[in-house]
Structure 1
Amino acid sequence: MGPDDDEYIGYVLSDVARLIRTVFDRRVRDIGLTRAQWLVLTRLYRRPGASQTELADMLEIDRASAGRMIDRMQKNGWVERRADSEDRRINRLYLTADARRAHKEMWAIAETTVDDALAPLSTAEREQFTRLAARVKGRLQTMAGAHGT
């Protein structure tokens, strides 16, 4: 298998991830979310109280870009900043009630998108695919940690 082979695992993995994001983006657009916004909602849902710097790291963007995004989302009523109880220079980020409702709706869309994507697989194949992908992810996380990235 070479660089011209469309079934090369690297291409397939990249294409699957890109296509799932594309389908999901189209579906959440109907509830008024951009990719950047749904990424923020997802990260803050999982890590409420993250700082702007921590959010920037999670999104793999610079702090200034994260700050502008948070400003827009705060203005639109999605995110609130709260002063850190121990360090007043740090603002902690939290989803508003509206954002939590949007996240719930977004999660249902995500589940449907994944179910639709995996429809060609049997239940056993889905379970095996999930286990194998998790093993590969774990290996990659170990490799990334070992190299400081």
Structure 2
Amino acid sequence: MANKSEEYATILRKISCLFRSTGSFMKKELESYNIGKGQFLFFMYLLKNGDGISQENLSEELNIDKGTTARALNVLINNNYVIKKVDTKDHRINRIYLTDKARKIEKEIEKLNIKWEEIMTYGISEEELKVFENVLDKMLNNLHNVKLKEEVK
């Protein structure tokens, strides 16, 4: 029987494999749109949750550092998928908005996302997916709590 350390290594290896496989799939599928796998998460968040979010809140919502967020948004800006506007009430805040170009490909990008989700979850019941999501949420919460403790030190 495997010890805890080996079990954790196996879990991490499988999560890493899912991450890399998703990246490879997205890189190939998004190439024609000039959207990289690094920008996809930001693009999908804005499509699903609406735009107008501040750049800082976007980083927080996705749990991605500010530098990575800025780089990803710059690529989307350079490809005319999003624009950045200074908040009218607080000039320190940059708000992110989807462009018409982004709206034109919204359905295609959503279909791509659904296709990948169907591939990844084939043969997995709704109940199994809910349990898996709950476990991932608990793991993320654990990591968040450790991060908060480190920030307090």
| TM-score, normalised with respect to structure 1 | 0.75
- Which of these residues, 96, 100, 109, is aligned with residue 97 of structure 1? 100
Q: Which residue of 2 aligns with 1:112?
A: 115
Moved more, 93-102 or 137-146: 137-146
1:1-149 matches, within 5 Å, as: 1=2, 8-45=10-47, 46=49, 48-57=51-60, 58=62, 60-63=64-67, 65-119=68-122, 121=123, 125-148=124-147
- Give the superposed CA RMSD: 2.8
Q: Which amino acid aligns with 2:10?
A: Y
How far did residue 59 of structure 1 move?
Answer: 5.9
Deviations 1:74-101 (A, max 9, x none): 2332111222132022221111121133
CA distance in 2, matches of 1:108, 1:19: 18
Partner secondary structure for residue 8 of structure 1: helix
CA distance in 2, matches of 1:98, 1:59: 26
Aligned length: 143
* 14 and 128 in structure 1: CA distance in 2 versus 1, 3 angstrom threshold: farther
Query: Quick check: which one's helix share is greater?
Result: 2
Percent identical residues: 20
Conserved 8 A contact 2:59-2:65:
yes
| TM-score, normalised with respect to structure 2 | 0.73
**Structure 2 unaligned regions, length at least 5:** 149-153
Conserved 8 A contact 2:39-2:75:
no
Higher RCO, 1 or 2 (CA under 8 Å, sep at least 6)? 1
